[in-house]
Amino acid sequence: MPILDKRVANILVWILLLTAPFWLVGVGGYVELGSRVLIYALAAMALNFLLGYTGVLSFGHAAYFGLGGYGTAMIIKFVYPSTPLAMLVGIAVGTAAAAIVGPLIARLRGVYFAMCTIAFGQVFYYISFQWSSVTGGDDGLSAWTRQPINLGFTSLDLQNNNKSFYYFVLAVFAVSVGLMAFLLRSPFGRTLLAIRENERRARFLGIPVDRHIWMSWVISCFFVSIAGCLYALLSDFIDPRAIRWDQSGTFVIMTVLGGMRSFWGPLIGSAIYLVLQDYISSHTENWMSFIGLFFVLIVLFFPRGVLGIIRRKATT
């Protein structure tokens, strides 16, 4: 008898997320931390679409995360001050880059796939780092602000109201995550599970594996670029570190920490990672050592992540 029924767990997650701005302060947090957890969770869940549900490890997702962020920042700063337009362009840029890189890597497997995703990611990193006149180089793009969103009957003030920005992020998160869940339950989603489970069997059931991996990659990068747009909006800032390989590593750590076979795992991983980071970094600069140690312990003893522990307890 599982302690947590799946539907109950879903309702619980959504209630917690919907009420977060009200209880976060009470437990020593702040609203912006909630937004950050959601944004990273979206990125990690996007990665998990590829890692947990297709069985392919990417170490270069930060590239498309960062491209989404740069697209958003540049549109607002240089072209036209509109948040929705900026996000659409950011998502389009990130997804298009992934679609172009995809065919070059979709035939690779395992370590070779991971290495090539890092390599392509670093290409984008160096472009953002070197092309100072456009990207601001090492200093990044600042001196722009997220714009209010006009809904016709009212205007959503994202800039001066932390809560309204949180709910904006939550709305985008909900739509994205809902879409992912929907895709995973479709015939197409099942072909991805088939590839994860046994690539040879999938191929000899008539699934063109490379093409489906390419599609899963593009979908995953589409969602990670949405997270990148929100990331840039969160602090009205983007710099090359959002693209660098260690940012990709953060997404992988969050996903594995929370549990990469479970849908909500990356959300849990993102929350644990960012709360630990927030708490420990106020005491020592060396916060990454502690997170690293925690990560190693989890991977050693609970290879299916934090949610894997709960699930195992639930089934025994």
Partner 1 sequence: MSLLRVENVSKHFGSLVAVNDVSMMVEPGELRAVIGPNGAGKTTFFNLITGFFRPSSGRIIFDGEDITALLPARRVWRGIARTFQVTEVFPELSVHENLRIPVEVASGFRLQPWLSRAADAKVRDRVAELLHMSGLAEKAGRLVGELAHGDQRATEIMMAIALNPRLLLLDEPTAGMGEQETFEIIQLIRRLHKDGKLTIVLIEHDMRVVFHLAERIMVLDQGKFLAEGSPREIAANEAVQTAYLGKAA
Residues binding partner 1 (CB under 8 A): 182-183, 186-188, 190-191, 193-194, 197-198, 200-209
Give the C-alpha separation, 233 to 118, whole Å: 25
Task: Supply the minimum distance, in Å, between the C-beta of residue 218 and partner 1.
Answer: 13
Residue 251 tokens, joined: 């997404």
Minimum gap (Å) between residue 205 Cβ and partner 1: 5
Please report how close the Cβ of residue 207 comes to partner 1 at its closest, in angstroms: 6
- Pick the closer one to partner 1 by CB: 80 or 204: 204
Residue 141 beta carbon to partner 1: minimum distance, rounded to whole angstroms: 35
28 vs 178, beta carbon nearer partner 1: 178
Three-state SS at 282: coil
Q: Rounded to the nearest whole angstrom, what is the least distance from the CB of residue 249 to partner 1 in the complex?
A: 26
Nearer to partner 1, 188 or 279 (CB): 188
Asked if residues 158 and 147 have their Cβ atoms less than 8 Å apart, the reply is yes
Contact 251, 47 (CB under 8 A): yes
- Which residues, in sequence order, are CB contacts of 168 under 8 Å at separation 6+? 149, 156, 158
Q: Report the alpha-carbon distance of residue 268 to residue 128 in Å, rounded.
A: 31
126/182 with CB nearer partner 1 = 182
* Nearest residue (CB) to partner 1, 182 versus 279: 182
Helix H or strand E encompassing 126? helix 110-130
Letter string b/e over residues 165-175, b meaning 16 or more CB atoms within 10 A of that residue's CB: bbbbbbebbee
CB of 84 or CB of 303, closer to partner 1: 303
**Whole-number minimum distance, CB 311 to partner 1, in Å?**
13
Closest CA to 75 of 85, 66, 63: 85
Q: What are the φ/ψ torsions at residue 288 (nearest 5 degrees)?
A: -65, -30
